[in-house]
Amino acid sequence: MKYHSTRDKSKSLTGGEAIIKGISEDGGLFVPESFPMLPDLKTMLEMSYQGIAQLILELYLTDFTSDEIKKAVAQAYDSKFETEWIVPLAVKGDAVFLELFHGPTFAFKDMALSILPYLLKTALEKSGIKEEIVILVATSGDTGKAALEGFKDVQGTKVIVFFPEEGVSPIQRKQMLTQEGENTFVVRLNGNFDDAQNGVKKMFGDEEFNQLLSENGFVLSSANSINIGRLIPQIIYYVYGYLQLIKENVIRMGDSVNVAVPTGNFGNILAAYYAKEMGLPISKLICASNDNRILTDFFQSGTYDRRRKLMTTSSPSMDILISSNLERFMYHTSGEDESLIREKMDELSNDGVYRYQSEGDIVYPDMATEEEISYWIEFLHKKEDYIMDPHTAVAYCAYKKYCDQSADRNVTMIASTASPYKFSDKVLKSIGVEFTGCDEFEKLNLLSERMHTPVPDKLAELELLPIKHDHISDTGNMKEVTLKLLKGGV
């Protein structure tokens, strides 16, 4: 299996090379040359999560040996997850929640970022690269902590995370600023997530800066969902979830299902599209946005327009105006038209807007306001004694709207992307719990009473952990800050 850029098909890389590189020199994202087909689902029915992971990774990473993948899977999906199922299903009323938040940082990013360090380390060993790899990350909340935790003390790597000063929840912020590990660096950015993401992309594309890094013994790579090594492991849980639905007699073998995903950068929902292209019986992709509604507007109108003010919401991981992985989706659905992708991405960069009408109706777009998020959190709590985080509530709201507007009654898997404990303010307010005067950790205890579960240890201990990182950057000096940190400065 070879990989090439969405903007230039002429250069082919192996899977390992694409994982190391992260993003192409031309600014494009790496995509597989074709979609491998899943084997007969009946043969996979009794497989564990680890077994399905092994199978899917072997289909895509053909330059890795079976033993190399097996070792990476075993190290990634182990006791660091709260449950042996890794991804449990919760059937609540007419909805099925694919709970993706039982990893070490309590967000779906753990599903890929638990294995990416091992895939990258293996790829580096095979490549003969001598420089130290610098994992450069822009985060709207969850990716940063998951990357820091995944790459902590991994030999031959350093991790630098930029997060928007005002764009993450208090728990997300504390998770990152208390991060341990000699090779980890966290930087607060005076800007929003798009500023952070644009700054990181510019560093990847800056030849002079990359040459300077190389002279100092460093080479850049990414742990954001622009890295194909992030995207491929996300396919696993959709396949696993479908098979669990069969085992729990919710559907029969071969039945079509829908998938509802709260998405900002379009990576998580793109993984469901990849699963569909591999033969998983997915019918509709319900693309759920928050008040920023950039993707809702795009799929409804055919116009992608980032020329708007970014709103700060209760679902910060979706507070994004440049959905990077949409480029991959457009590439695949345009018949792999690289010149079209170059044209549209240039228009986005220069004008802030482009038009593109995707063919077919695989995607149903909708959004949730802050009022709707609160309504559906309260609704499900009262009806099913089940509590969602705000991101999951966005997807549930879009799913309910789809049901109202459609005769489609396929079972829908809702990607439940974060633990409610990470967003206690919005959740407690939504279910009518008074918390005036409470600090963040008292709020966790209030929520624990309503969820009938103990506060996760790794969140409870944040109260006592010291702040380890106190770096701050403006959008214009991210390169300088990065270089200083790598050279041992402050």
Q: Dihedral, CA atoms, 162, 164, 167, 170, nearest 10 degrees?
A: 60
Q: Which residues of 204-236 are buried (b: 16+ CB within 10 A; e: fewer)?
A: beeeebbeebeeeebbbbbbbbbbbbbbbbbbb
Residue 119 near residue 223, CB atoms below 8 Å: no
- How is residue 447 written in tokens? 């929520």
C-alpha closest to that of 320 among 333, 311, 329, 307: 311
Q: What SS3 class is residue 195? A: helix
Q: Rounded to 5 degrees, what angle do the CA atoms 92, 98, 100 make?
A: 130
- 32, 42, 55, 106, 233 from 39: Cα distances, Å: 18, 8, 9, 31, 17
Report d(CA 53, CA 243) in Å as an integer: 13
Q: Annotated catalytic, 383? A: no
Catalytic residue among 21, 42, 80, 109: 109
Radius of gyration of the chain (CA): 21
pTM of the shown model: 0.94
Mean pLDDT for each consecutive 10-residue tract of the chain (490 residues)?
96 94 93 98 97 98 98 96 96 94 96 95 88 92 92 92 91 95 96 92 92 93 91 98 97 97 96 98 98 97 96 93 96 96 97 88 96 98 97 98 95 97 97 96 97 95 95 95 85
Residue 283: CB atoms within 10 Å: 14
Where in the chain are the domains?
Answer: 3-78+109-228+468-486
Q: How many CA atoms lie within 13 A of 6 on its CB side?
A: 28
Query: What is the model's pLDDT at position 489?
Result: 57
DSSP 56: H
- The pLDDT assigned to 358 comes to 76
Core vs surface per residue 1-22: b (16+ CB within 10 A) or e: ebbbbbbbbeeebbbbbbbbbb
Q: Which CATH class is domain 3-78+109-228+468-486?
A: alpha beta
79, containing H or E segment: none
Tell me 418's DSSP state.
Answer: B
